[in-house]
Amino acid sequence: MILGSDSVSEDGRITVVAGGVGAAKFLRGLLQVHPNHLVTALVNVADDFRLHGLAISPDLDTVTYTLGGLVNPETGWGRANESWSVRDELERLGGETWFNLGDLDLAVHLYRTQRIGNGATLTEVTKELCDKLGIEAQIVPASNQEIRSQLKLQGGGWVDFQDYFVAQQHSVAVENLRFRGIEAALPGPSVIASLEEADVIVIAPSNPFVSVKPVLEITGVGEVIKKRRERVVAISPIVGGAALKGPASRMLEELGFESSVVGIASLYKEFASALVIDHVDTELAAKVEAVGLRSVVTDTIMSDVDRAAALAEAVLNNTSLEERDT
C-alpha cells in the first residue's frame, strides 16, 4: 500500500542525511527532479581518517564525485578514468597500500590536507571543491570536528571503521560500536539551520549504524530531527532482507535487530514518520506501520540515474507536510 499524497513544492528545501554510495545515488536522482540549489546533503564524517599524512573523507568524496560527474560508474566510489601510478610505486617500495588511493583521488586529498593545514575548515574545503566542480547543491560535512567510528569485533578489540570495512573486508562479526569524539563534536555552521528550515528531511538509504547514526548523535542534530519527525522520511537500505551494498544487513543481526525493513523501522521510529520500502517487501508494510511509521512502497533499487530520479519523485510525492513541532 502506498500512503501519503502530499507533495513538495518546487521551491521546497530538501535536506538529506547522507552516507556514501546509496546516498550519493539518491542525491543524483534528486537533483534530476528538484532545483539543485534547494538541496542540502549533510554527510557523515565518522569514517574519515588519515593515511600517509593525508586527510581522507570517503563519504564526502563519494557524494562530491557523484554529483560532480566524476565517480567511477562501475564501483559507485572513487574516480572515473583513474590511474594508479603512485599506488603501484608505493607498493613496489613496500609502503601501505591496503586502502586504494588513485592518482586523481590523491590530488583531492592533497588539496584538502593543505587547506586544512592552512587553517580552513572541512566545511570550507568541501564548498571550494563543490564550486570548482560546478555543484549547485550544498554538500555539508556533518561536523568540522574529528569523529571516528569504532567497532568492537567478535573475539577481538576495538578497531577503526576503515580497518573493519577495508582492511578486514567486514568479515568479522560486530559486537558493539562507538563514535570517538562525538561528545565534543559540534554540528557544522549550517547544519542545524538546514534541518530547521527544510520542508522535507530525508534519511538516505545508507548504513544506519556507521553512516546515519554518527550524524544523528552529533549535539543537537538528532534532537532537531526528532522535533520535526512529521517532515522526515527514511529510505530503507535493506531490500528483501539484504543490503544492496556493504555489511548493513549483517550488522543489523549482529547488533540485535531484524535484518528487514521492520528492523530499519525500529531504528528510525523516533526520527522519521515514514519509511520508503521496495516492492519486494510489500508484505511487511503492515509491520512497518505497526512500529509507528507510514509505509511508502515503490522501486528503491537505483540501478541507473532514471530509477534514482523516480525514487526521489516517489519520496517527494509521498511526504506528509503536516508540521507537528513539539
Residue-wise pLDDT for 174-218, tens only, equals: 999 999 999 999 999 999 999 999 999 999 999 999 999 999 999
Residues in contact with 93: Cβ distance below 8 Å, sequence separation at least 6, in sequence order = none
Determine the Cα–Cα distance for residues 158 and 264; give it in Å rounded to an integer: 25
Residue 62 is classified by DSSP as: H
pLDDT, average across residues 293-312:
96
Q: What is the mean pLDDT of the chain?
A: 93
Q: Is the pLDDT of residue 3 over 90?
A: no
Give me the half-sphere count of Cα atoms (radius 13 Å) on the Cβ side of residue 58. Answer: 22
Q: Looking at domain 14-50+148-317, which CATH architecture does it have?
A: 3-Layer(aba) Sandwich (3.40)
Backbone angles phi, psi at 143, to 5 degrees: -150, 155
Region label for 39, one of left (φ > 0), alpha (ψ between -120 and 50) or beta (otherwise): beta
| CA distance linking residue 103 with residue 107, whole number of Å | 7
CA separation, residue 83 to residues 66, 77, 80, 100, 102 (Å)? 18, 14, 9, 11, 6
Q: At what angle do helices 21-33 and 305-317 cross, to 10 degrees?
A: 70
In angstroms, rounded to a whole number, what is the distance separating the alpha carbons of residues 136 and 131? 8
Residue 79: phi, psi to the nearest 5? Answer: -100, 145
- Convert the pLDDT of each residue in 53-89 to its tens digit: 999 999 999 999 999 999 999 999 999 999 999 999 9
What distance in Å separates the CA atoms of residue 292 and residue 80, rounded to the nearest whole number?
42
Cell, residue 17: 542525511
Structure-model confidence comparison of residues 1 and 215, the more confident one:
215
CB 39 within 8 A of CB 138: yes
**Grid coordinates given for 48:** 574519515
**Nearest Cα to 103, choosing from 94, 115, 92, 90?**
90
Rounded to an integer, what distance in angstroms lies between the CA atom of residue 256 and that of residue 258?
A: 7
Query: What is the DSSP-derived secondary structure letter of residue 237?
Result: S
| HEC secondary structure over 41-52 | EEECCCCCEEEC
Letter string b/e over residues 271-310, b meaning 16 or more CB atoms within 10 A of that residue's CB: bbbbbbbbeebeebbebbbebebbbbbbebbbeeeeebbb
The answer to whether 8 and 321 are in contact (CB under 8 A) is: yes
Q: What is the mean pLDDT of the segment spanning 27-38? A: 97
Residue 246 has pLDDT above 90, yes or no: no
Q: Domain ranges in the chain?
A: 14-50+148-317
- pLDDT of the residue at 190: 96
Q: How confident is the model at residue 11 (pLDDT cuts 50, 70, 90)?
A: confident
Q: Which amino acid is at 31?
A: L
Cell 545508507: give the residue.
Answer: 206
Q: Which three cell numbers stand for residue 133?
A: 566542480
| pLDDT tens per residue, range 256-273 | 999 999 999 999 999 999
